[in-house]
Structure 1
Amino acid sequence: MPGWMDLAYTTAGGVVGAAVTNYLSRNQERRQLRAAVMQQLLRVATVCDRVGDIAPSRGQSPSPSRYLVGERLLATARFGVTAVLDDGGDAEQTQREAISDLVVAALSAGIPRTVLDFAGGGEERALQCKAIELIDVRLGGVLGESLDELMAHSEAYRQATAQHLLRALWHPWQTRLRLRARLRALRQDVDALHRRQQAAMSVLAQPEHTQALAERLGHL
């Protein structure tokens, strides 16, 4: 019959073993959740990178996104165009589906919703800036150097929001401590980007440019 010391060791071993098993199980689950977020984030990012052209819009304009932080500027809706992927697909529709899947994966991983709003909005603004760039190409480059500044600012904001999401994924406690300050900085960035988008769209919306765009896209 085992003595009380043997029983104590057996009991302690069982408790420790259960704790270790639970820890390893949670670590495995956490790794899987993080991997899912990384996969979906990459999927979202590739949408904008695959946009190759614009075409006349057919059907209803896309509904405003839930993830776009700040005022909404949809160049595609304003100019009646669709951003087209390299495989002929609708870029905005593909992006909305990808962002929805990212949100599901990220919320499961414990990422705050505000962080997701900025990350999704960064990608959506990048797509709208890409549409502005393609419209400008069709018009022969009427925006000049201001387009380069817009695209650089858009990419910087896009990268900043993605990095913020990744910090929340890998360093959640540190992110929570600095969340307000970082969100405040991102809001300032998106306001500046919004003003650049607005200025570019104001130039493109001049009557002579909208007329030329309609002719070159075959609206007339």
Structure 2
Amino acid sequence: MACPKERGDDAEERLPGLMELTYSTVGGIVGATATGYLTRQHERRQLRAGVMQRLQTIAAITAGVRDIEIGWAPVRRAAGGRSHLTSGLGLRATLEGGADAEDALHEAFAGYEVAALAAGVPRRVMDFAAGSHERAFECEVIRIIDRRVGGVLGESVDVLMRAAEEYQRAATGLLLHALWRPWRARLRLRARIRVLRTEVAALHDLQEAARTRLVETETITLLFARLDPEQRRWETWKIPPAAGTAAPYASGTEPYAQAPPTADD
């Protein structure tokens, strides 16, 4: 028969000691915290990768514009409304294989917006990046139209394309900074946005000058003579030839970067 002391020792061995409980509890908390942290980090990386992937899709569409052709009937825009050069002239930009470039771009923008909001990108930063790609797309259309009519813009088209590229690079850089260094990006956000507003204003002026030159009567006549030598566009547009060759182009406001300043600006 075991003595009382021996039975007491067996009981102590069966019951966990205070230090053992402490180590187990602390270890469980640390393990759960580490697991949660790593899970959140993995999710953030996935969200950031999603934004990057969609931004690359937008850039690929812009770079993939191959030509212009007769599209939907010219669209008149109300004063202050946004009017693309293609819609104002009744044209459509096409990708390799003939797909509508603007439709593909709108779809890509929608996916990008969802991904950017999910990743916590500030709305203004997201809009500037999207607007820069839209500007680049329109500049590419201007370049193609100019090529179609024999280069009436001269060297100014190269200046326009460089300005669009620089603005796109700056706006995308701000997005990447906000995406990967969010706390640091907030410190200089207002200053960088002021710079971007200056850049987009200069780019807007260059675009307007190019558009004004391209929609002159002689230039438009030459453009449609080459795009539609048989003058069948009226059948596509479903309007009589007497209505004119195109709706007057009306420039609008920048939907992204030209938005009225907010209280944070």
TM-score, normalised via structure 1 length:
0.92
CA distance in 1, matches of 2:54, 2:186: 22
More displaced stretch, 140-149 vs 199-208 = 199-208
Residue in 2 aligned with 1:206? 216
CA distance in 2, matches of 1:130, 1:115: 23
Q: 1:163 aligns with which of 165, 173, 188?
A: 173
Deviation at 1:142, TM superposition (A): 0.5
- Cα distance change of structure 1 residues 101 and 218 upon mapping to structure 2, 3 Å threshold: same
* Larger relative helix fraction: 1
Secondary structure at the counterpart of residue 51 of structure 1: coil
Residue in 2 aligned with 1:67? none
Deviation at 1:61, TM superposition (A): 4.7
Q: Which segments of 5 or more consecutive residues in structure 1 lack a partner in the other structure?
A: 65-69
CA distance in 2, matches of 1:218, 1:151: 27
Residue in 2 aligned with 1:184? 194
1:41-80 alignment runs, 5 A limit:
41-59=55-73, 61=75, 72=82, 74-80=84-90
Query: Which one-letter code corresponds to 1:50 in the other structure?
Result: G
Residue in 1 aligned with 2:27? 13
Residue in 1 aligned with 2:114? 104
Deviation at 1:63, TM superposition (A): 9.0
**Equivalent residues of 1:73, 1:197 under 8 A apart:** no
Secondary structure at the counterpart of residue 66 of structure 2: strand
Q: Which segments of 5 or more consecutive residues in structure 2 lack a partner in the other structure?
A: 1-14, 232-265
Deviation at 1:153, TM superposition (A): 0.4
Query: Which one-letter code corresponds to 1:29 in the other structure?
Result: E
**Equivalent residues of 1:75, 1:201 under 8 A apart:** yes
**Is 1:2 paired with 2:16?**
yes
- Cα distance change of structure 1 residues 104 and 63 upon mapping to structure 2, 3 Å threshold: farther
Query: Which one-letter code corresponds to 2:29 in the other structure?
Result: V
Give RMSD over aligned pairs. 2.0
1:82-102 alpha-carbon deviations (Å, 9 max, x no partner): 111012111111001001101
Secondary structure at the counterpart of residue 82 of structure 1: strand
Secondary structure at the counterpart of residue 92 of structure 2: strand
Query: Which one-letter code corresponds to 1:16 in the other structure?
Result: V
Query: Which one-letter code corresponds to 2:192 in the other structure?
Result: R
Deviation at 1:33, TM superposition (A): 0.9
Equivalent residues, number: 215
After the TM superposition, list the runs of 4 or more consecutive aligned residues in structure 1 that deviate by more than 6 angstroms: none
Deviation at 1:59, TM superposition (A): 4.8
**Is 1:81 paired with 2:91?**
yes
